[in-house]
Amino acid sequence: MELFRHGPAGSERPAVREEGRAYDLTPLTADIDGPFLADDGIERTAAALAAGELPEIDTTGRRIGPPIARPPAVVCIGMNYAAHAAESGAAPPPYPIVFLKHPGCVVGPDDDVILPPNSAKTDWEVELAVVMKGTPRYLNDPSEALGYVAGYALSNDLSERAFQLEESGGQWSKGKCAETFNPLGPVLRPASEIDPTALRLRSWVNGEVRQDSSTADMVFSVAEIIHHLSHYMLLMPGDVISTGTPEGVALSGRFPYLKVGDVVTMEIDGLGRQEQVIVAC
């Protein structure tokens, strides 16, 4: 089962796909958002599909939006793959590195990415995104964490490295929050259908492979990340957690940074594929 949103930016409609057929979700909800997920939205969707209560629709040719509307927060984890930490010139961190991305950065999976003026070091990052359905508070153990997860999606945590590392004074978010810097989707897959511990994730630039790794190489698992965050911040239904990127980014020095006209493609097993064109501001 794949939940998604389609239509013009700002006017998306909720839908669900099962066995290749798409169905309208508006009989259940006006949108796929935090309140819907908190109110057993995934389970109610599955029940409505089984009962034949949702009208079939044709979304061919429609723009696909981010699968979650207006996430209250986008929480990101830095250097969560040992090889990526190494290519960044650092050791794997002893605890999760946390920074925030402005929710306004979230766009559809195939929307254009706007290169900021004077940017010379814009970079790609394929990541597994976690979408929350509940609020974990001061969890005792990581084994309690996954029950708060609605599902998983594919995310591109775009980063302007000069803004992040050279002009920030340590404030990573300055290089993470430009307009369009978080393509998300195309779909939200229910947590019950996805094992987040062994997903292949890949990225390409202009058809050339940049990243090819597995979530099995994470320093901190999804459960460990949520357990950790529950002691430091309020997580809300609809929040997105981007869990870090593997090796193969431009920051490593092995590849050029992005420029206008480049095409970035990403995919994660079971979560679909996204593609963006880099355009001028």
Q: Which two tokens stand for residue 219?
A: 């320093």
Beta-bridge partner residues of 114:
279
Mean pLDDT of 138-149: 98
Q: How confident is the model at residue 92 (pLDDT cuts 50, 70, 90)?
A: confident
Share of residues in the chain with pLDDT > 90 (%): 93
- Give yes or no for a contact between 177 and 167, defined as CB atoms under 8 angstroms apart: no
Rounded (5°) CA angle 48-49-50? 90
Question: What's the distance, CA 159 to chain centroid?
Answer: 14
Query: 264 Cβ partners below 8 Å, 6+ apart?
Result: 113, 124, 156, 203, 204, 205, 258, 275, 276, 278
CB-CB contact of 1 with 17 (8 Å): yes
What domains appear along the chain, each with residue ranges and CATH number? 2-63 (no CATH), 65-280 (3.90.850.10)
**Token pair belonging to 41:** 């939205």
pLDDT at 89: 77
Task: Write the CB contacts of 173 (distance below 8 Å, at least 6 apart in sequence).
Answer: 99, 100, 101, 102
Residue of higher predicted confidence among 135 and 169: 135
pLDDT for 99-135, tens place per residue? 999 999 999 999 999 999 999 999 999 999 999 999 9
Q: How many degrees, rounded to 5, is the angle at CA 165 between CA 217 and CA 207?
A: 55
- 116: Cα separation from own chain's centroid: 21
Stretch (H or E) spanning 97: strand 97-101
Check pLDDT > 90 for residue 86: no
Do 86 and 247 form a contact (C-beta atoms < 8 A)? yes
pLDDT tier at 83 (50, 70, 90 boundaries)? confident
Please indicate, yes or no, whether the overall pTM of this predicted structure exceeds 0.85. Answer: yes
- CA–CA dist 259, 113 (Å, integer): 11
The tokens for 26 are: 């508006």
